[in-house]
């Protein structure tokens, strides 16, 4: 199980963090991996902090508990940086990926004591530019794939195109925008 | 060739029901099993199955409708959780005493109160003496496989008892994981056609079902139920053999993980078994002879076989995801320890209550249990056999 990758998502109810974790599980499954994708269910309210998890491995996954020492943490909403201890247990060799426009110094002061890698991406800009509306989960998913390397970019894009064609069979006009969002996100996620 | 898929435990259960295509499904939604009748009702409206779906107004009626359908001569299924199962309680006994092989998918959740929607086994433990066969499932795969095997066991002429397949609410019911599905036609052949011997809608043989049964006969009828439960043991193994021929996946009363030379072991059920396997592997790397026994068949309880499997250990911990509130120990602990006492196997044993109301059970918790077992082996002493793991203490 040395190849096991554990990812923890922090979002707010209604932003699609749960959906994004399930999409990541799907994409990894489609490239032949063993996967787990599960949210931590609580009182489900719009805007309330929400946690979701992924395990991805080349071997069958047997453990059934939440993730306490993730390799990667994904923060879909940067207002959570002051509300939740997002780096709790985060592997120092891993990374945190934040959807934000804040600069490196601001983030470092918010993530007190965390010395691992920080990646940022302005998902709102990408989403508005490519989809015309704020749908954070598609670009966020691409950022996670890029930083974690759990799926080959080429395989990921091919698989996502297939899923979009299926999911948006009745709205084919949005497929191109979603693919653009993924491609832009793959390019724009930056280490600080 | 099996079909590689990724499904939640609830999806897996619904797909098994789709492939079984029962005559009747009667259900009332309750978290975390709601998705099962929800998905199944879409199969009904899409025409994927030709099941009569009865959308009842309560779980008491869901089980009553299953009893009626099964007594009429059809194959009936349902799904529920926690208080839904509590509300069925009266009808569960009717179903088993009328020898109706109804199959239920039970997604385990804490029984109120106070209100909690998360996983523990208090629902299942509350009905453990109701005369239902009870199978437990570590993951989505086992929840699916157990359902595919269910009718062959329940409907066997030597058994004729209802059967429930348990899985952990949210932990497996709402987690997407890999699964190998069996082709529809293979499932259809494996499950077979339901051919009841005696049923209400047989105009050739008018019968009454469930009349008054007083001092003269109830005892004998209860004995027959008990006999059926004893005979179910062989049938469960026979069906597992056929299932293994079809899928290559091996099932028995329980799964032994690294028990061959184990000195200390944990006994548990459902999803915790997976977590325990990873802990056993870590302990083995350190040279600690740890093992695990995962109970799949809880009713009938494989007493002799479990006593045999645990008999050579130096210490064993039996983990219950429900507190029996009896100042004595969990239900599985009671069953395992009395099995060992009867078989004259004297192994130091402790009861651990854990994971109540969805409290996450981590590898660290399981390690704590194994640590205590090592301490027992070292000192030969048990300071308190009724233990808790994952319970907050003081101001934690």
Mean local confidence (pLDDT), B222-231: 98
| Same domain assignment for residues B229 and B293 | no
Residue B394 lies in a domain: no
Taking CA atoms, what residue in B is nearest to A65?
A: B362
| Same domain assignment for residues B269 and B187 | no
Number of domains into which chain B is organized: 2
Cβ A90 vs Cβ A114: under 8 Å? yes
Higher pLDDT, B138 or B396: B138
- Which of B186, B216, B247 delimits the end of a domain? B247
- Which of B203, B227, B247 delimits the end of a domain? B247
| Same domain assignment for residues B237 and B266 | no
CA distance B299 to B153: 12
Q: Which CATH number is B317's domain given?
A: 3.40.50.920
CB contact under 8 A, A62 and B275: yes
| Same domain assignment for residues B224 and B332 | no
Domain containing B29: what range?
3-247
Mean pLDDT across chain B, nearest whole number? 97
Q: In what order do the strands lie in the sheet with B3-7?
A: A190-191, A117-121, A95-99, A72-75, A5-12, A49-57, A34-39, B176-181, B3-7
- Which of B247, B277, B309 delimits the end of a domain? B247
| Same domain assignment for residues B38 and B18 | yes
Q: Which CATH number is B189's domain given?
A: 3.40.50.970
Q: At what angle do helices B140-154 and B184-191 cross, to 10 degrees?
A: 30
Taking CA atoms, what residue in B is nearest to A25?
A: B176
Write out the H or E segment, with its range, that includes residue A123.
helix A123-131
Residue B395 lies in a domain: no
| Same domain assignment for residues B353 and B210 | no
Read off the pLDDT of residues A75-86 as tens digits, 9 standing for 90 and up: 999 999 999 999
Residue B19 lies in a domain: yes
B278 vs A26, A39, A63: nearest CB: A63
Find all residues with CB under 8 Å of B11, minimum gap 6, and list them.
B35, B39, B140
Q: Sorting pLDDT into bands at 50, 70 and 90, what band is B395? A: confident
Check pLDDT > 60 for residue A168: yes
CB contact under 8 A, A68 and B171: no
Domain containing A125: what range?
5-191
CA distance A111 to B81: 41
Q: Sorting pLDDT into bands at 50, 70 and 90, what band is B31? A: very high
Residue B281 lies in a domain: yes
CB contact under 8 A, B274 and A68: no
CB contact under 8 A, A41 and B168: no
| Same domain assignment for residues B243 and B259 | no
Read off the pLDDT of residues A84-135 as tens digits, 9 standing for 90 and up: 999 999 998 999 999 999 999 999 999 988 999 999 999 999 999 999 999 8
Interface test with A, best of B178, B249, B355 (most A CBs within 10 A): B178
pLDDT at A41 (0 to 100)? 79
pLDDT at A92 (0 to 100)? 87
Interface test with B, best of A62, A68, A70 (most B CBs within 10 A): A62
Read off the pLDDT of residues B154-206 as tens digits, 9 standing for 90 and up: 999 999 999 999 999 999 999 999 999 999 999 999 999 999 999 999 999 99
Residue B378 lies in a domain: yes
Contacts of A59 in chain B (CB under 8 A): none
Read off the pLDDT of residues B343-378 as tens digits, 9 standing for 90 and up: 999 999 999 999 999 999 999 999 999 999 999 999
CA distance B361 to B390: 7
Cβ A12 vs Cβ A52: under 8 Å? no
pLDDT at A43 (0 to 100)? 67
| Same domain assignment for residues B220 and B365 | no
Query: What is the pairing mode between strands B24-27 and A190-191?
Result: unpaired
Cβ B387 vs Cβ B372: under 8 Å? yes
Check pLDDT > 90 for residue B151: yes
Mean local confidence (pLDDT), A126-151: 94
CA nearest to A76, candidates A35, A47, A45: A47
CB contact under 8 A, A64 and B271: yes
pLDDT at A47 (0 to 100)? 86
**pTM beyond 0.95:** yes
Give the total residue count for chain A: 192
CB contact under 8 A, B175 and A36: yes
Give the residue numbers in A contacting B (CB under 8 Å), as ranges.
Answer: 1, 22, 25-26, 29, 34-39, 41, 60-66, 68
Cβ A33 vs Cβ A59: under 8 Å? no
Q: Which CATH number is A79's domain given?
A: 3.40.920.10
Mean local confidence (pLDDT), A55-65: 97
CA distance B99 to B223: 12
Number of domains into which chain A is organized: 1
Contacts of B363 in chain A (CB under 8 A): 63, 65
Q: What ipTM did this prediction achieve?
A: 0.94
Residue-wise DSSP of B246-307: HHS----SEEEES-TT-SEEEEE-TTHHHHHHHHHHHHHHTT--EEEEEESEEES--HHHHH
């Amino acid at each position: 199980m040395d190849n096991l990758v554990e990812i923890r998502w922090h979002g707010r109810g209604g932003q699609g963090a749960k959906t994004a974790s399930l999409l990541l599980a799907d994409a990894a499954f489609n490239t032949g991996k063993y996967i787990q994708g599960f949210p931590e269910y609580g009182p489900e309210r719009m805007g309330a902090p929400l946690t979701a998890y992924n395990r991805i491995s080349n071997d069958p996954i047997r453990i059934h508990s939440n993730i306490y020492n993730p390799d990667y943490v994904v923060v879909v909403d940067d207002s959570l940086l002051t509300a939740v201890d997002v780096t709790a247990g985060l592997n120092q060799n891993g990374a945190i990926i934040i959807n934000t426009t804040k600069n490196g110094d601001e983030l470092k002061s918010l993530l007190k004591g965390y010395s691992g890698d920080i990646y940022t991406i302005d998902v709102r800009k990408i989403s508005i530019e490519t989809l015309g509306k704020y749908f954070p989960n598609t670009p966020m998913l691409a950022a996670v794939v890029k930083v974690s390397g759990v799926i080959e970019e080429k395989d990921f894009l091919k698989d996502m195109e297939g899923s979009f064609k299926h999911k948006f069979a009745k709205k084919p006009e949005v497929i191109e925008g979603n693919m653009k969002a993924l491609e832009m996100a793959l390019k724009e996620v930056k280490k600080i | 060739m099996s079909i590689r898929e990724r499904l939640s435990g609830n999806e897996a259960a619904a797909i098994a029901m789709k492939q079984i295509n029962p005559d009747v499904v009667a259900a009332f939604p309750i978290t975390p099993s709601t998705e099962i009748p929800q998905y199944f009702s879409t199969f009904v409206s899409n025409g994927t199955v030709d099941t009569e779906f009865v959308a009842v107004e309560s779980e008491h009626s869901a089980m009553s409708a299953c009893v009626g359908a099964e007594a009429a001569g059809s194959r009936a299924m349902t799904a529920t959780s926690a208080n839904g199962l509590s509300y069925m309680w009266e009808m569960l006994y009717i179903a088993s005493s009328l020898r109706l092989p109804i199959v239920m998918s039970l997604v385990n959740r804490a029984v109120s109160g106070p209100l909690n929607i998360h996983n523990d086994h208090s629902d299942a433990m509350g009905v453990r003496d109701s005369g239902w066969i009870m199978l437990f499932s570590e993951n989505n795969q086992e929840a699916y496989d157990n359902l595919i095997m269910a009718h062959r066991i329940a409907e066997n002429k030597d058994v004729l008892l209802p059967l429930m397949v348990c899985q952990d609410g949210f932990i497996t019911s709402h987690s997407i994981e890999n699964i190998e599905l069996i082709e529809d036609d293979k499932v259809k052949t494996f499950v077979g056609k339901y051919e009841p011997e005696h049923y209400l809608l047989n105009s050739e043989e008018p019968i009454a079902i469930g009349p008054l049964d007083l001092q003269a006969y109830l005892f004998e009828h209860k004995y027959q139920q008990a006999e059926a439960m004893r005979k179910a043991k062989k049938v469960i193994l026979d069906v597992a053999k056929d299932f293994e021929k079809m899928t290559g996946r091996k099932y028995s009363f329980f799964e032994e993980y690294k028990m061959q030379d184990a000195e200390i072991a944990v006994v548990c059920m459902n999803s915790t078994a997976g977590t325990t396997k990873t802990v056993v592997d870590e302990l083995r790397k350190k040279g600690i002879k740890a093992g695990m026994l995962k109970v799949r068949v809880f009713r009938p309880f494989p007493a002799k076989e479990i006593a045999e499997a645990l008999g050579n250990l130096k210490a064993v911990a039996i983990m219950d995801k429900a507190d029996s509130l009896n100042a004595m120990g969990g239900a599985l602990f009671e069953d395992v320890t009395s099995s060992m006492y009867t078989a004259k196997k004297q192994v130091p044993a402790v009861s651990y209550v854990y994971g109540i109301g969805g409290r996450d059970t981590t590898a660290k918790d399981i390690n704590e249990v194994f640590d205590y077992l090592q301490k027992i082996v070292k000192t030969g002493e048990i300071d308190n056999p009724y233990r808790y793991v994952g319970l907050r203490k003081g101001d934690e």
